């Protein structure tokens, strides 16, 4: 199953419909009806299906179908043809996260035979890697058409550890429009580059503040379970300007804000808009046709630790993992928890260290651990 899923090059910028059609036909072959939720272009779809009785209290197995690009990466073998070497299965998505998807699908015949008393709901999304664009409509459809599940397990690679908290994410592109003049007359121009620098400095200052607060509070810091234990603000890309002696007309840069689950992306966005507005006023005082605009590429809620969470209890029971794990990367668990009101945890085979890398792989041992986990889940839902 994993080999088949990897063979569909479902890089987020491409359609995922061939993979979805394959899964739909596979499930239909086992007598399982699945439903699709398309995007507005009709070129992508979420798929969900329920196996077992149509009653509340089941478990959602959540995965995404898209993978990150291979552009510029140096692969030893074809990324979309899975190969086994040294106890590892290599291929784009083996780890993040077609391994989990494949296990859920491959075990459908066993789920059907087992005599489940509560259902398993398989939920596969599109565009997770490019701003979690698919999952909101998937959650809405699930809630509308299927009986409520008691837990959601998001199978992102955690090396089968039970992750109960993750940070949220806000990804932005800021475009600064300046006014071009010869730099000898700089007082009449507006440099987009220099104003961008002021905004970038804001990110560094906020992060320094957050770090200082977390250090002062130590173990009592709200972010203490995370590494690092505070909201981080990072600018990863920038471009702008045309010549050393022209005030830059354009500059754009990216922001990547990973905030603690108790904070909100909207709040960070409001704070950032406020500084943008102040900088813009100063720019427009020199030349009115200048300005700052923002593209929001991702605004995804974090995942909070639940009190007596059913998903956590279940995953601990099935894995035997009693550690407390909080991660700084985002997943769709935050959406299931915040939008859908589900109890959630993140638990899946493979290590996040291999995700998005050249020569991405999942070890056979991790895949076997994931398989054992799903078999125990099936047994559990039969009791």
Which residues contact Zn ion (rule: CB under 5 A)? 96-97, 156
> Shortest Cβ distance from residue 103 to Zn ion (Å)?
15
Q: CB-hemisphere CA count at 13 Å for 2?
A: 27
Angle at which helices 99-106 and 17-29 cross, to 10°: 20
138/194 with CB nearer Zn ion: 138
Closest CB to Zn ion among 96 and 310? Answer: 96
SS3 at position 4: helix
Give the residue with the Cβ less far from Zn ion, 96 or 280: 96
* Minimum distance of Zn ion from residue 305's CB (angstroms): 21
Token pair recorded at residue 248? 């830059």
Q: Which strand (E) or helix (H) includes residue 365? A: helix 364-382
Residue with the shortest CB distance to Zn ion:
96
Active site residue 66: yes
Distance CA 101, CA 64 (A): 8
- Smallest distance, Zn ion to C-beta of residue 97, A: 4
Q: How far is the CB of 92 from Zn ion (least distance, A)?
A: 12
Count helices and strands (H / E) in the chain. 10, 16
Q: Angle at CA 150, nearest 5°, toward 148 and 153?
A: 110
Instruction: Tell me whether residue 67 or residue 283 sits nearer to Zn ion (CB atom).
Output: 67
- Is 180 designated active site? no
The residue (of 99 and 241) whose beta carbon lies closer to Zn ion is 99
Contact assessment for residue 181 and residue 188, using Cβ atoms and an 8 Å cutoff: yes
Q: CA–CA separation, 311 vs 158, rounded Å?
A: 15
Q: Rounded to the nearest whole angstrom, what is the least distance from the CB of residue 210 to Zn ion in the complex?
A: 26
- For residue 247, what are its two tokens? 């005030």
- In the set 127, 128, 156, 263, the catalytic residue is 128
Task: Output 12 or 247, the one with its CB closest to Zn ion.
Answer: 12
CB 151 within 8 A of CB 341: no
| Residues near 106 by beta carbon (within 8 Å), at least 6 away in sequence | 1
Closest-CA residue to 62 (of 376, 362, 364, 346): 346
State in angstroms the smallest separation of the CB of 295 from Zn ion: 22
Q: Please list the active-site residues.
A: 66, 128
């Amino acid at each position: 199953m994993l080999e088949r899923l990897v063979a569909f090059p479902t890089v987020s910028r491409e359609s995922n419909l061939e993979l979805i059609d394959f899964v739909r036909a596979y499930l239909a072959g086992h007598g399982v009806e699945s439903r699709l939720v398309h995007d507005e272009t009709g070129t992508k779809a979420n798929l969900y299906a329920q196996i077992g009785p149509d009653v509340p209290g089941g478990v959602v197995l959540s995965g995404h179908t898209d993978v990150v690009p291979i552009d510029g990466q140096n692969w030893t073998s074809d990324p979309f043809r899975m190969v086994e070497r040294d106890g590892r299965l290599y291929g784009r998505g083996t780890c993040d996260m077609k391994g989990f998807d494949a296990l859920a699908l491959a075990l459908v015949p066993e789920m059907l035979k087992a005599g489940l008393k509560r259902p398993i709901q398989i939920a596969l999304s599109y565009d997770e890697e490019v701003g979690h664009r698919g999952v909101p409509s998937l959650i809405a459809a699930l809630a509308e058409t299927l009986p409520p599940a008691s837990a959601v397990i998001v199978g992102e690679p955690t090396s089968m550890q039970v992750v109960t908290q993750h940070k949220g994410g806000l990804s932005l592109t800021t475009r600064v429009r300046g006014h071009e003049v010869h730099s000898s007359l700089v007082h009449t121009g507006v440099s987009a580059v220099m104003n961008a620098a002021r905004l970038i400095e804001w990110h560094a200052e906020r992060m320094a503040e957050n770090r200082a607060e977390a250090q002062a509070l130590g173990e009592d810091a709200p972010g203490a379970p995370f590494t690092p234990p505070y909201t981080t603000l990072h600018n990863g890309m920038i471009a702008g300007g045309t010549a050393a002696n022209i005030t830059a007309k354009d500059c754009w840069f990216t922001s990547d804000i990973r905030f603690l689950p108790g904070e909100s992306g909207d709040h960070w966005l409001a704070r950032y808009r406020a500084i943008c507005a102040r900088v813009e006023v100063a720019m427009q005082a020199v030349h009115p046709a200048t300005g700052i605009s923002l593209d929001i590429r991702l605004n995804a809620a974090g995942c909070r630790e639940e009190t007596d969470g059913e998903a956590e209890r279940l995953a601990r029971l099935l894995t035997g993992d009693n550690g407390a794990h909080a991660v700084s990367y985002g997943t769709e668990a935050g959406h299931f928890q915040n939008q859908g009101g589900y109890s959630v945890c993140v638990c899946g085979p493979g290590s996040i260290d291999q995700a998005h890398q050249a020569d991405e792989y999942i070890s056979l041992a991790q895949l076997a651990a994931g398989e054992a986990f799903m078999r125990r889940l099936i047994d559990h839902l039969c009791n």
